Structure 1
Amino acid sequence: MVLRSCWKSRHKSRSGAADCLLRPGWTVLLWLCVTLVACASGVVGETKNVVQKDAEFDVTYNDTVTSENQTIYAFNHTVSRNKTEGVRVSVDVSSQGSESPILFVVRQKQAVLSFQVPLILRGLYQRKYPYNHLGRTLCQPPTRAASETQYFFVDVSTLSSQGTNYQLRVSRVESFTLQTDKKFSFTASPSQPQYFKYDFPDGVDTVIVKVSSDTNFPCSVMSIQDIQCPVYDLDNNVAFIGMYQTMTKKGAITVQRKDFPSYSFYVVVVVKTEDEACGGPLPYYPLRPDELTDAGNRSKVLDVVVSPAINSEVYVMGMLFCLGIFLSFYLLTLLVACLENKRMGKRRELFQNPADMSPAETASLLGKNGDGKTPASPYEYGSFADNCSTLSSEAITDSATSTDNNYGYMERTLDSVGRSRQESLSSVEEDDYDTLDDIDSDKNIVRTKKFLCVSDLARKDKRILSKKYQIYFWNIATIAVFYALPVIQLVITYQTVVNVTGNQDICYYNFLCAHPLGALSAFNNILSNLGYVMLGLLFLLIVLKRDIVHNRALVRNDVNALECGIPKHFGLFYAMGTALMMEGLLSACYHVCPNYTNFQFDTSFMYMIAGLCMLKLYQKRHPDINASAYTAYACLAAVIFFSVLGVVFGKGNMVFWIVFSVIHILATLLLSTQLYYMGRWRLDSGVLRRIVYVIYTDCIRQCSGPMYIDRMVLLVMGNIVNWSLAAYGLIKTPNDFASYLLAIAICNLLLYFAFYIIMKLRSGERIQCLALVCILFTAVVWGFALYFFFQGLSTWQKTPAESREHNRDCILLSFFDDHDIWHFLSSIAMFGSFLVLLTMDDDLDTVQRDKIFVF
Structure 2
Amino acid sequence: MRPCGGRVPGFTLLIWMSVARLVCGYGLSEETKTVLLREAEFDVIYEDTVTSNNQTVYAFNYTLFRKMTEGLRVSVNVLSNVSHSPIQFVLRQRHSVMSFPVPLIIRGLTHEYSHVERTLCPPPTVNDSEEQSLFVDVWSLRSHSTQYQLRVSRVDNFTLGTDKKLNFTASPSQPQFFKYVFPDGVDRVIVKVTSHMKFPCSVLSIQDIKCPVYDLDNNVDFTGMFQTITKLGAITVQRKDFPGNSFYVVVVVKSEDTVCGDSTDSSTMDTDRTKVLEVVVSPSPQSKESLQLQPMNMDDVSMACSNPETYWDRFSYLFCFRNIATIAVFYALPVLQLVITYQTFANVTGKQDICYYNFLCAYPLLGLSSFNNILSNLGYGLLGFLFLCIVFKRAITHRQALVCKDRNALENGIQKHFGLFYALGMALMMEGVLSGCYHVCPNYTNFQFDTSFMYMIAGLSMLQLYQKRHPDISENAHAAYCCLALVVFVSVIGVVLGKDSITFWIIFSLIHILASLFLSAQLYYTDTWRGCIRQCTCPIYIHRLVFLVVANVGNFCLAGYGVIKRPNDFDTHLLAIAICNLLLYLFYYIFMKLWNGERITRLAIVCIVLTLIFWGCAISFFLQGLTTWQKTPAESRENNKDCILLSFFDDHDIWHFLSSIAMFGSFMVLLTVDDDLDTVKRDNIPVF
- Residue number in structure 2 paired with 1:455: none
**Rg bigger for which structure?**
1
Q: Residue type matched to 2:111 in 1?
A: Y
More helix by share: 1
- Residue number in structure 2 paired with 1:614: 462
- Residue number in structure 2 paired with 1:88: 73
Provide the secondary structure at the position in 2 that maps to 1:624. helix
Deviations 1:41-80 (A, max 9, x none): 1442584111111111111111111111111000011111
Q: Residue type matched to 1:317 in 2?
A: S
Cα distance in 2 for residues equivalent to 1:38 and 1:568: 103
8 Å contact 1:722–1:744 — kept in the other structure?
yes
Structure 2 residue 159 is matched with structure 1 residue 177: yes
8 Å contact 2:82–2:146 — kept in the other structure?
no
Structure 2 residue 17 is matched with structure 1 residue 44: no
Runs of 4+ with >4 A deviation: 27-40
8 Å contact 2:195–2:276 — kept in the other structure?
yes
Q: Which of 424, 433, 452 is 1:585 aligned to?
A: 433
Structure 2 residue 458 is matched with structure 1 residue 605: no
8 Å contact 1:318–1:813 — kept in the other structure?
no
Deviations 1:515-548 (A, max 9, x none): 1112011111011000000110111111111111
Deviations 1:537-584 (A, max 9, x none): 111111111111111111121111111100000110110000000000
C-alpha deviation, 1:39, in angstroms: 6.0
Q: Which of 304, 307, 310 is 2:285 aligned to?
A: 310
8 Å contact 1:515–1:522 — kept in the other structure?
yes
Q: Residue type matched to 2:128 in 1?
A: A
- Residue number in structure 1 paired with 2:501: 653
8 Å contact 1:130–1:294 — kept in the other structure?
no
8 Å contact 2:520–2:548 — kept in the other structure?
yes
What is the aligned-residue identity percentage?
66
C-alpha change, 1:621 and 1:43, in structure 2 (3 Å) is same
8 Å contact 1:512–1:809 — kept in the other structure?
yes
Q: Which of 546, 562, 567 is 2:394 aligned to?
A: 546
C-alpha change, 1:535 and 1:32, in structure 2 (3 Å) is closer
C-alpha deviation, 1:29, in angstroms: 13
Provide the secondary structure at the position in 2 that maps to 1:805. helix
C-alpha change, 1:143 and 1:710, in structure 2 (3 Å) is same
C-alpha deviation, 1:675, in angstroms: 1.5
Q: Which of 668, 678, 683 is 1:850 aligned to?
A: 683
Provide the secondary structure at the position in 1 that maps to 2:526. coil
C-alpha deviation, 1:657, in angstroms: 1.5
C-alpha deviation, 1:819, in angstroms: 0.4
C-alpha deviation, 1:127, in angstroms: 6.2
- Residue number in structure 1 paired with 2:113: 131
Q: Which of 605, 608, 620 is 1:775 aligned to?
A: 608
Gaps (5+ residues) in structure 1?
1-26, 286-292, 338-462, 699-703
Q: Which of 196, 205, 222 is 1:214 aligned to?
A: 196
- Residue number in structure 1 paired with 2:307: none
Cα distance in 2 for residues equivalent to 1:838 and 1:43: 98
C-alpha deviation, 1:731, in angstroms: 2.3
8 Å contact 2:93–2:133 — kept in the other structure?
yes
- Residue number in structure 1 paired with 2:56: 71
Structure 2 residue 610 is matched with structure 1 residue 762: no
User: What is the TM-score when the length of structure 2 is the normalising length?
Assistant: 0.93
C-alpha deviation, 1:710, in angstroms: 2.3
Cα distance in 1 for residues equivalent to 2:14 and 2:480: 101
- Residue number in structure 1 paired with 2:372: 524
C-alpha deviation, 1:38, in angstroms: 5.3
8 Å contact 1:188–1:301 — kept in the other structure?
yes
Structure 2 residue 556 is matched with structure 1 residue 708: no
C-alpha deviation, 1:849, in angstroms: 0.5
Report the count of equivalent residues: 669
Q: Residue type matched to 2:25 in 1?
A: S
8 Å contact 2:316–2:420 — kept in the other structure?
no
Provide the secondary structure at the position in 2 that maps to 1:667. helix
C-alpha change, 1:680 and 1:80, in structure 2 (3 Å) is same
- Residue number in structure 1 paired with 2:570: 737
Provide the secondary structure at the position in 2 that maps to 1:223. strand
Deviations 1:788-812 (A, max 9, x none): 1111110111110011011001111
Cα distance in 1 for residues equivalent to 2:356 and 2:651: 15
Structure 2 residue 672 is matched with structure 1 residue 839: yes
Deviations 1:330-363 (A, max 9, x none): 99x99xx9xxxxxxxxxxxxxxxxxxxxxxxxxx
Gaps (5+ residues) in structure 2?
1-10, 305-310
Structure 2 residue 122 is matched with structure 1 residue 140: yes
8 Å contact 2:191–2:282 — kept in the other structure?
yes
Q: Residue type matched to 2:78 in 1?
A: V
Q: Which of 200, 217, 224 is 1:242 aligned to?
A: 224
C-alpha change, 1:38 and 1:184, in structure 2 (3 Å) is closer
Deviations 1:131-155 (A, max 9, x none): 1110000000331111111001000
Structure 2 residue 272 is matched with structure 1 residue 297: yes
Provide the secondary structure at the position in 2 that maps to 1:497. helix
Provide the secondary structure at the position in 1 that maps to 2:100. strand
Alignment of 1:11-30 (within 5 A): none
Structure 2 residue 143 is matched with structure 1 residue 158: no
Cα distance in 1 for residues equivalent to 2:579 and 2:551: 12
C-alpha change, 1:37 and 1:756, in structure 2 (3 Å) is closer
Provide the secondary structure at the position in 1 that maps to 2:37. strand
Cα distance in 2 for residues equivalent to 1:58 and 1:844: 89
C-alpha deviation, 1:745, in angstroms: 0.6
Q: Residue type matched to 2:129 in 1?
A: S
